[in-house]
Amino acid sequence: MLISKISKYIPQFIMKPAYGIYEGKLIDEIKSEKVPGHIGIIMDGNRRFATSKGLPVYMGHEMGMKKAEELLDWCNEIGVKVITLYAFSTENFKRDPEEVDFIMKMFEQKFREAATNKKIKENRAKVKAIGNISMLPESLKEAIKVGESATEDYDNMTLNICIAYGGRMEIVEAIKRILDSSNGGGIDPEEIDAKLLSENLFTKGLPDPDIVIRTGGEIRLSNFLLFQSAYSELFFLNTYFPLIRKIDFLRVIRDFQRRNRRFGR
């Protein structure tokens, strides 16, 4: 913490190497203990960052997307295997139509680029869209198929992009799938348990998140992974997502490792 307090009084050409040394120390400490297997991130603050700098809103979204690529590298460096990014909620469709249209086109471009994206290939990250895909434009649906197909054999990491996603909706859809699987014959209420519900969520087959991080200064989950995050460790950062630094991320991981997780016991 001391390095943060004194950094504003020291020239950046001195502070940058100091941060590099500190980052290296944190990475060594993190790797010496159990690394979280799944991290969920609510990427909040893109629009507010752009506004604070007098920039168009779309630039905030573009910078947030670039930061997400950096984050993938940070996770790979310490050995995180699953990253779930909250990119666009079902409620976000209520925003200005021009902004929504820009975001949809940006996602379309990024999913198509997943087949050749350097970061995706280097990290061998399997890309998957999670959410009510039926709500999305046809061109984006096609792009998602391209991105998922191109990365389906990658086995080092899984990158979930929550788009047109809502935690409540996900649970409702899971219940519908359970009822549909009974083929109209009904299902004994005693058969419905947490395991069955989990197997019908969008995150089927993946571990629940060990950590949920929210940037942007807000302290709430905003309908993100409501079922899966029952015992996740929560971290709320005041930093807008485009401004999150590697050292901020590493500090969260180190703090997580120092917590005593009891899972209700």
Give per-residue pLDDT as tens, 50-61: 999 999 999 999
Please say if the pLDDT value at position 5 is more than 60. no
User: Considering the domain boundaries, does residue 42 fall inside one?
Assistant: yes
User: Considering the domain boundaries, does residue 172 fall inside one?
Assistant: no
Contacts of 68 (CB under 8 A, 6+ apart): 43, 85, 87
User: Considering the domain boundaries, does residue 129 fall inside one?
Assistant: yes
Residue of 28, 44, 96, 117 marked active site: 44
How many domains are there within the chain? Answer: 1
Please say if the pLDDT value at position 153 is more than 90. yes
DSSP state of 11: -
* Domain carrying residue 245: 36-166+210-255
Whole-prediction pTM: 0.90
Count of beta carbons in the 10 Å neighbourhood of residue 31: 12
Structure confidence at residue 261 (pLDDT): 82
**pLDDT tens digits along 223-232:** 999 999 999 9
Residue of 28, 46, 76, 92 marked active site: 92
> How many whole angstroms separate alpha carbon 44 and alpha carbon 50?
12
DSSP state of 229: T
Structure confidence at residue 34 (pLDDT): 93
Please say if the pLDDT value at position 150 is more than 70. yes
User: Considering the domain boundaries, does residue 173 fall inside one?
Assistant: no
Give the CATH number, domain containing residue 85.
3.40.1180.10
User: Considering the domain boundaries, does residue 161 fall inside one?
Assistant: yes
Under the banding of pLDDT at 50, 70 and 90, the label for residue 21 is confident
**pLDDT tens digits along 195-242:** 999 999 999 999 999 999 999 999 999 999 999 999 999 999 999 999
| Catalytic status, residue 101 | no
Structure confidence at residue 14 (pLDDT): 56
| Catalytic status, residue 193 | no
User: Considering the domain boundaries, does residue 59 fall inside one?
Assistant: yes
User: Considering the domain boundaries, does residue 81 fall inside one?
Assistant: yes
User: Considering the domain boundaries, does residue 228 fall inside one?
Assistant: yes
Mean pLDDT calculated for residue range 29-40? 96
